[in-house]
Chain A
Amino acid sequence: MHILSRNKGAILLGLAPALILYVVFAILPIVISFYYSLMDWDGLSEMEFIGLANFTEALNDDVFWQALVNNLYVVGASVFGQIPIALFVALLLNRKLRAGKLFRTLGFMPVVLSTVIISLVWGLMYNSRNGLFNQLLESVGLESWTQNWLGDPTWAMVSVCITIIWQFVGLYMIIFLAALQNIPREIYEASEIDGASGWKQTIHITLPMMWNTVVVAVMLCISGSLRTFDLIYVMTAGGPGHSTEVLAMYMFENTFNATRYGYGSAISLFIFFFSLALVFLSRVVLRRKNID
């Protein structure tokens, strides 16, 4: 592009601030993570090179596996909870409704709230003695159904996942709504002439037209839920036992409570790779469906 292209010095100068900040405080740490993961180190004394021992230890660590399984549980609950609900609500909202904007505003509200605040409020709602859920059950005569929601290993994970689903449905709803509004009206009009209506239109026109957006949403959902940390940290800290342990939480415990920096780094790299792998896997699976 004409005169401007020749200005190498200016280009360098203009890119430098962003590039330096990004490299030093985002890329460099992830690279150093690789280095630390090969070490036995408590953060203070001399580092000791131990090769892949941290990785093999993780693979033989029951809690690590439990955390991974819990992570997959969160991923599953998010993908199969958030995406269908969000899609359903978006389809409803995609009509000319008088209060459509209000519902959109309310639906997106949880997304802008801090996870810490959400965790604290929901923690109070789950409170075994005077929380919302138990009081609700008691008031309709279902005392026997009351639980120690976050304190009981069989219920803790379910409770946590319900909160996670609640928190992010709105995000995908908004994304789907935007995709729906990008589908040209004429296509529907044409299909109506061919006799398609209602669900037929939704299945044969709407869904295929927005399938790419669904794929993107699923990937966002997977990588997002693999990173679950704040919510677990505040709500249960991984307990009771290790029943709500997730990888990020286990990494945090190992690093900052047990000061095993090398082991913590190895676990964080697992998070990184799992999230890349799952994102690519879901891309492959969903793309194939698209072609059929």
Chain B
Amino acid sequence: MTKVEASTTNNKRKVQFTSGRSIKSTMIYIVLSIYGLINVYPLIWMFINSFKSNAEFAKDSFGLPEVWQFENYARAWETANLDVYFLNSLIVSVTAVIVTVFAGAMASYFLSRFVFKGRKVLQSFFVFGLLIPIHATLVPMFILMRNIGLLDTHIGLILPYVAFNLPITIFLLVSFMESFPKDIEESAVMDGCGVFRIFWSIILPMTRPAIATVVILNVINNWNEFSFALVLINDDALKTLPYGLANFSGQYTTDYGSQMAGLTLAVIPIVIIYLLLEKQLVKGMTAGAVKG
């Protein structure tokens, strides 16, 4: 008798427990769904409205378009010079990433695998760059580039991009390379490998995961950069995507449909890259910060 009672109360408790739990988890899902929606809704809103006429946008910016205005995209593509800006962003971002990763990886290799005087100081000196607000360097950078004749060139933009991405690159790569076992180079040295050969054939391949992270971070930084482009580039044919878009929208303030079509076109590549590489990116973003 008592046994049965005990088991029924037990069951009752279990039922209450699980239903309480499922209410709780439903609540969590609702909260998270609202949060997720808030994060992407502006993009969805932009995408939907990129197919509307001005009149329809003014009347109702929530619903789906009554008539899909695909010509908004054609018009945006024609007037916004997106192809030119795209190409510029691509050239500048990719070149800067290659230079940053190569120079950064080599410096990280010597900073992490060699013992020499001033190594720690040099390492902190590089990481100090994370504290420099780039806006504090805009004026001297502009004068510097003017003096060496690199204003209005791709290289003039690439150089500061490299310089300001080196700190985070070196910070992440050094801590990664330091974790390799101490005697990893030994047998290579026995076989007569030089230090650069070791870097190229042993260290660099081993660093691949960290390099992937660094590359993604660099690409995103460079692709989205605005301030240096604004100051160092004047020629419309050399403008990068963010800079070009800022101007485009300023010029066509009343053509909302084309504006949003242009913005959608600019957002698509970075969203695709993000969705493809999300895991690696998140891993990299957190590696540095969590260690503190």
A231-265 near B? 1/0 per residue, CB < 8 Å: 00110000000000000100110011000010011
Per the bound structure, the CA–CA distance linking A248 and B230 in Å amounts to 13
Question: Which of A72-80, A117-125, A188-196 lies at the interface with chain B?
Answer: A117-125
A178 at interface, CB cutoff 8 A: yes
Task: Name A174-189 residues within 8 Å CB distance of B.
Answer: 174-175, 177-179, 182
Task: Name A206-240 residues within 8 Å CB distance of B.
Answer: 212-213, 215-217, 220, 223, 226-227, 229-230, 233-234
What chain B residues lie within 8 Å of A131 (beta carbons)?
61
Question: Do B290 and A92 have beta carbons less than 8 Å apart?
Answer: no
Question: Which of B10-18, B71-79, B129-137, B204-212 lies at the interface with chain A?
Answer: B129-137
B241 at interface, CB cutoff 8 A: yes
**Given that A115-B224, A130-B57 are known contacts, is A14 also in contact with B107, CB under 8 Å in the complex?**
yes
B64 at interface, CB cutoff 8 A: no
What chain A residues lie within 8 Å of B236 (beta carbons)?
none
B120-146 near A? 1/0 per residue, CB < 8 Å: 001000100101111111111111100
Question: Do B113 and A7 have beta carbons less than 8 Å apart?
Answer: no
A28 at interface, CB cutoff 8 A: yes
Question: Do B133 and A275 have beta carbons less than 8 Å apart?
Answer: yes
B226: contacting residue among A1, A115, A139, A269, CB under 8 A: A115
Instruction: Identify whether the interface residues of B are mostly helix, strand, loop, or mixed.
Output: helix
A272 at interface, CB cutoff 8 A: yes
Nearest-neighbour CB distance to chain A for B54, whole angstroms, equals 9
**Given that A14-B106, A175-B285, A279-B131 are known contacts, is A30 also in contact with B136, CB under 8 Å in the complex?**
yes
**Given that A106-B36, A116-B246, A121-B43 are known contacts, is A17 also in contact with B159, CB under 8 Å in the complex?**
no
A268: contacting residue among B31, B36, B136, CB under 8 A: B136
Nearest-neighbour CB distance to chain B for A160, whole angstroms, equals 15
B42: contacting residue among A121, A212, A230, A279, CB under 8 A: A121
Question: Do A256 and B144 have beta carbons less than 8 Å apart?
Answer: no
Q: How many of chain B's residues touch chain A, expressed as a range?
A: 35 or more
Instruction: Identify whether the interface residues of A are mostly helix, strand, loop, or mixed.
Output: helix
**Given that A105-B278, A171-B285 are known contacts, is A29 also in contact with B242, CB under 8 Å in the complex?**
no
Closest to B292 in A: A216
A15 at interface, CB cutoff 8 A: yes
**Given that A7-B195, A264-B139 are known contacts, is A18 also in contact with B133, CB under 8 Å in the complex?**
no
What chain A residues lie within 8 Å of B111 (beta carbons)?
15
A1-42 near B? 1/0 per residue, CB < 8 Å: 111110110110011011101101111111011001000000
Task: Name B80-104 residues within 8 Å CB distance of A.
Answer: 99, 102-104
Question: Do A120 and B164 have beta carbons less than 8 Å apart?
Answer: no
Per the bound structure, the CA–CA distance linking A25 and B275 in Å amounts to 33
Per the bound structure, the CA–CA distance linking A177 and B43 in Å amounts to 24
What chain B residues lie within 8 Å of A123 (beta carbons)?
249
B51 at interface, CB cutoff 8 A: no
Question: Do A95 and B195 have beta carbons less than 8 Å apart?
Answer: no
**Given that A115-B242, A135-B62, A178-B286 are known contacts, is A102 also in contact with B36, CB under 8 Å in the complex?**
yes
B6 at interface, CB cutoff 8 A: no
B58: contacting residue among A104, A108, A129, A213, CB under 8 A: A129
What chain A residues lie within 8 Å of B226 (beta carbons)?
114-116, 230, 233
Per the bound structure, the CA–CA distance linking A276 and B170 in Å amounts to 21
- Please give me the 4 A-B residue pairs with the lowest Cβ-Cβ distance, nearest first: A178-B286, A25-B163, A18-B107, A114-B224
Question: What are 23 inter-chain pairs, A to B, with CB distance below 8 A?
Answer: A1-B113, A10-B110, A14-B199, A17-B102, A18-B106, A24-B163, A30-B140, A32-B144, A89-B32, A92-B32, A105-B275, A105-B278, A114-B223, A114-B241, A114-B242, A120-B246, A130-B256, A135-B62, A139-B62, A178-B286, A227-B134, A256-B142, A276-B131
